[in-house]
Amino acid sequence: MKIAIDAMGGDFAPLETVLGALEAVRETKHIDVVLVGDETQINKILEDNNEINNPRVTVHHASEVIGMDEHPGQALRKKKDASVVVATALVRSKVCDAVIAPGSTGAAVAAALFGLGRIKGIDRPVIATPMPTVNGITVMLDSGANSNSKPKHLVQGALMGSEYAKLLLGKENPTVGLLNIGEEATKGNEVVLATYPILEKMKTINFKGNVEGRDIPKGAVDVVVCDGFVGNVVLKFAEGLVTSLTQLIKDSIMGGSIFAKIGAMLIKPALKPIAKKLDHTESGGAPLLGVNGVFMISHGSSKAKEIKTAIKIATDLVERKIIEQIRQTVEIEGAVKYEYDE
């Protein structure tokens, strides 16, 4: 298994990206990596870590980088040798099996669309993010690829999310909910109102109706479908809330009495699993579903731990043939057989 990594993407690239790739190679015998980016910088890191001659770690030079503040479409047209573009091309040409892309989400989505193309029957790819809940994990999609979705895009997202949840959660028939402002089928904006009856008719998903924002952390369903604008707001709010609550608890303990500090020490072992579950760095990123290849988008602030996890998730998705599964489901259900709004 060979994974292409945009080594120059993200706030801490290339150091943390390369270190994460090296950790993945050390821990997993069947994973090789191709580090795409400035070969001088990457080789220096490999030398510093005594890995310059590791046959399982290859450097593929790319002379350009797309920054977080650049317009994705314009940057892709101007920077043909950008690291994320070159990494994607390695998958298209079958040199590598999957891509890891930290950094600009917009650039990553654009590179995947232009470089890999869409699965037949899918109009727009979606980012599928695992959200921690009291019942385990809920997959939320779209969490940032498309800010303006039509009913057909939400329907296609439901198909892909259901297939991903089968692999991620190990469930034969994962439940699917449509994110809305109320549970009633008569509530919501025009897009959600038009999507609801289509999802009800579908035979390949286990549709449970509308769910509200508060139902996500409860784990009311296995898959939550929404447009990318709403999904990204939910995701960033959840990350910020966890960070803020953690800081409030720490401040309260440190500023409290000696008994508060003793109590905190006593319950610390019990809190560790909870903290790990709520830590977004444990997920490593989220797959971009709907393109012809396994493409993992990692957070712009990803460090070595997240990159390592993203590589392992991508490897698992390749081995379990997520792309083939989505293709089969789209063919069975017929993502184009309903009369969607154009």
Q: Worst-scoring range by mean pLDDT, 173-187, 265-279, 286-300?
A: 265-279
Structural domain that includes position 242: 123-282
Residue 105: pLDDT band (50, 70, 90) is confident
27 and 308 Cβ atoms separated by less than 8 Å? yes
Number of H helices, E strands in the chain: 12, 12
Same domain, 151 and 198: yes
Q: What is the pLDDT of residue 72?
A: 79
Same domain, 149 and 257: yes
Note whether 254 and 146 are same-domain residues: yes
Residue 172 lies in a domain: yes
On whether both 181 and 218 belong to a single domain, the answer is yes
Q: Residue 338 pLDDT more than 70? A: no
Cα 314 to Cα 30: distance, rounded to the nearest angstrom: 13
Single pTM value for the model: 0.86
Take residue 16 and report the two structure tokens written for it: 């943390």
Q: Would you say residue 136 has pLDDT above 50?
A: yes
CATH number of residue 278's parent domain = 3.40.718.10
Residues facing residue 207 across a β-bridge: 176
Average pLDDT across the chain, whole number: 86
Find where tokens 């399982």 sit. Answer: 56
Which range among 1-10, 31-40, 253-262 shows the weakest confidence by mean pLDDT? 253-262
- Do residues 224 and 241 both lie within one domain? yes
Q: Sorting pLDDT into bands at 50, 70 and 90, what band is 339?
A: very low
In a domain, 326, yes or no: no
Give the containing element (helix H, strand E) for 33.
strand 32-37
Number of structural domains found in the chain? 2
Q: Residue 215 corresponds to which tokens in the numbers above? A: 């139902």
Same domain, 109 and 149: no
Q: Which one-letter DSSP state was computed for residue 137? A: E
Same domain? For 133 and 263 the reply is yes
252 pLDDT band, cuts 50/70/90, is confident
pLDDT for residue 169 is more than 90? no
Asked if pLDDT for residue 336 goes beyond 50, the answer is no
The answer to whether position 184 is within a domain reads: yes
Task: Please return the burial class of 61, using the count of CB atoms within 10 Å of its CB with bins 0-12, 13-18 and 19+.
Answer: middle
What was the pLDDT predicted at 188?
87
pLDDT band at 15 (very low <50, low <70, confident <90, very high): very high
Greater confidence, 237 or 174?
174
61 and 184: one domain?
no
Q: Please indicate, yes or no, whether residues 274 and 296 belong to a single structural domain of this protein.
A: no
Domain membership flag for residue 30: yes
Q: With 50 as the cut, is the pLDDT of residue 317 above it?
A: yes
